[in-house]
Amino acid sequence: MNTKLRVSEISKIYPGCVANDEISLEFGSGKIYALLGENGAGKSTLVKILSGVVRPDKGEVFLNDKSIKLNSPLDAKKNNIGMVFQHFNLFETLSVFENLSIDSDKKNEDLRLSVNNILKKYNFKIDLDIPVLNLSAGQKQKVEIIRCLIRNPKVLIMDEPTSVLTEQETEDLFVSLKQFSDEGILIIYITHKLKEVLSLCDEVAVMRKGKVVSVSKTKEEKIETLANKMVGENLSTIKKKIKNFKYSEEILKISNLNFRSDDPYETNLINLNFSLKKGECLGIAGISGNGQSELFQILSGEIITDYTSIKFRDKEISKLNPRERREYLMAFSPEDRISQAAVPELKIYENVALNNFKSSNFFEKGLVNEKKIKEHSKKILSNFSVNTDNVEMKSQFLSGGNLQKLIIGRELITSPELLVCFNPTWGLDVGAINYIHETLININEQGKSSILISTDNDELLKLSDRICVIYKGKLSKIMYVNEVTPEKLGILMGGGSID
């Protein structure tokens, strides 16, 4: 089976942004192609065009030299183009088999037979008759892949498939993808992770601002060369110095942190104990949904739990709300920038006023001191290089990176002793990630402490002094960063044990 896929001069213009600008690419079966680019580079638009979700303003798609019309996802299926999205489209309460049968026109018995063949052939271990909600993220992804395989795809498109997987699951996925490729399926792999491109793909197309800036063989590329192509400038990489905290002052001590939730979608936390030294960064790794969000909210004071002791510089703060904790010089940067850390409908200066610490005098005698808030906001915008100086602008017009800079700036401009942040670079482009990382390393160097809850292992290894893993609400032992490897983290994140 020899497949050739060609896109020719594809353009797609959204109001205010050219998502795809005359894109021409050629793919042939037997190889794995990477489509690499920052957020907003136009990868997703191109992929949506190929899967029939979005129609291009201009340009054509050729499959085996025949022009094809992709007006709907159904057309893509008819042309044997399969697509696995970053977010799964599965019904959680239905069984695996029921999910597969929804969009299949085969008879149930035939379908079961072909699914079982696929399971056997690729050595997937999934029980077809249990509800999808009992599956791990990796297994759910396999269900999505099976859904594509049933239709004997010629082209398989994977959109950022590893963002929810553990190290081991990622390796399994790569093995499967290579197997598919050997069987003649053309694979297009979308990512912004450079390491994956180098270890998995044969060819790489780099996109930037809606254009293809380079097409090359991965053999000829290195992480640095790809990164520079992706960002369009030379990035300086910063490294953290390894320090010894043995004799440093203990700043935070958590004992007997327990949390039971009535909400079935929340995770219970079981007996967490840890402490943090001055100037130290403690990384907490884990696959999302293992209790990170609950832990963050308990640290910030959004959730108050009984019997837990949180001592911050020897003061018991476990019963204080977030505003009161800020008075003790703690700061918090939540995962959800858009609906929690900031309100998009509010102006920049109003979002700054959310962090109303006592000495700010934002609200004197209960009245709003707009002048003071605006002055303070201007300082944040310039100190944290947010790309605007208009404090009257609504925050919804800031890009993700700039909004995150604003939030981190708002939290850090008070020089807090402790910053708790949760996935601070999630969904940001390389430039912004670099800036945030630099900032987080800087605060540690100034003797301020931080807790970094993150699902990005590279980030954790780069920024943390000590790392532990949260799995189903329990914390692993805490390790020094120099004794941690991605493999060890992967085992702990999947619920295994080491040593």
Partner 1 sequence: MIKIEKRNDVSPSIYFLTPILAIFLTLFGGGIIFYALGFNPLEALKFFFITPISDLYGFSELLVKATPLCLIAIGLSFCFKSNNWNIGAEGQLIFGGIVGGGVALLFYGHDGFYVLPIIVLSGAIGGMIFAMIPAVLKTYLNTNEILVSLMLVYVAKLLLDYLVVGPWSNPEGFNFPETRQFSESARMPILFDGLRIHAGIFITLITVFLSWLILYKTYLGFQIKVSGLSLKTAKYAGYKGKTMIIIVFMISGACAGLAGVGEITGPIGQLHRNISPDYGFTAIIVAFLGRLNPVGIIFASLIVALTYLGAETAQIFLQVPKYTGQVFQGMILFFLLGSDYLLFFKIKFLGLKKNEL
Rounded to a whole number of angstroms, the minimum distance from the CB of residue 393 to partner 1 is 12
Which of residues 111 and 354 has its CB atom nearest to partner 1 in the complex? 354
Rounded to a whole number of angstroms, the minimum distance from the CB of residue 325 to partner 1 is 8
Sign of the dihedral through C-alpha 346, 352, 357, 361: negative
Rounded to a whole number of angstroms, the minimum distance from the CB of residue 366 to partner 1 is 5
Sole residue written with tokens 């690729």:
122
Structure tokens at 444: 């540690």
Which of residues 231 and 343 has its CB atom nearest to partner 1 in the complex? 343
Which of residues 226 and 342 has its CB atom nearest to partner 1 in the complex? 342
Asked if 335 and 426 count as a contact pair (C-beta separation under 8 A), the reply is yes
Which of residues 178 and 323 has its CB atom nearest to partner 1 in the complex? 323
Rounded to a whole number of angstroms, the minimum distance from the CB of residue 222 to partner 1 is 40
What is each CA distance from 264 to 39, 133, 289, in whole angstroms? 33, 12, 12
The span from the CA of 6 to the CA of 46, in Å, is: 12
Rounded to a whole number of angstroms, the minimum distance from the CB of residue 64 to partner 1 is 25
Which of residues 94 and 303 has its CB atom nearest to partner 1 in the complex? 303
Q: C-alpha dihedral over 121, 126, 129, 135, to 10 degrees? A: -150
- The angle formed by the CA atoms of residues 315, 410 and 461, to the nearest 5 degrees, is 75
Which of residues 256 and 396 has its CB atom nearest to partner 1 in the complex? 396
Sole residue written with tokens 């602008």:
393
Query: Rounded to the nearest 10 degrees, what angle do helices 108-122 and 137-149 cross at?
Result: 120
Q: C-alpha dihedral over 441, 443, 445, 450, to 10 degrees? A: -80
Written as one string, the DSSP assignment of 224-248 is: HHHHHHHHSSPPPPP-PPP---TTS
Rounded to a whole number of angstroms, the minimum distance from the CB of residue 336 to partner 1 is 7
Which of residues 337 and 462 has its CB atom nearest to partner 1 in the complex? 337
Sole residue written with tokens 């085996």:
64
Chain positions contacting partner 1, by CB under 8 A? 54-55, 57, 300-302, 321-326, 332, 334, 336, 339-343, 345-346, 350, 353-356, 363, 366-368, 394, 396
Measured in Å, how far apart are the chain's first and last C-alpha atoms?
47
What is each CA distance from 359 to 302, 329, 356, 362, 373, in whole angstroms? 22, 11, 8, 8, 12
Rounded to a whole number of angstroms, the minimum distance from the CB of residue 174 to partner 1 is 36
Which of residues 95 and 340 has its CB atom nearest to partner 1 in the complex? 340
Which of residues 264 and 366 has its CB atom nearest to partner 1 in the complex? 366
Q: Is 66 left (phi over 0), alpha (psi -120 to 50) or beta?
A: beta
Which of residues 138 and 210 has its CB atom nearest to partner 1 in the complex? 210
Rounded to a whole number of angstroms, the minimum distance from the CB of residue 342 to partner 1 is 7
Rounded to a whole number of angstroms, the minimum distance from the CB of residue 263 to partner 1 is 13
- The angle formed by the CA atoms of residues 52, 56 and 60, to the nearest 5 degrees, is 85
Asked if 25 and 216 count as a contact pair (C-beta separation under 8 A), the reply is no
Rounded to a whole number of angstroms, the minimum distance from the CB of residue 388 to partner 1 is 16
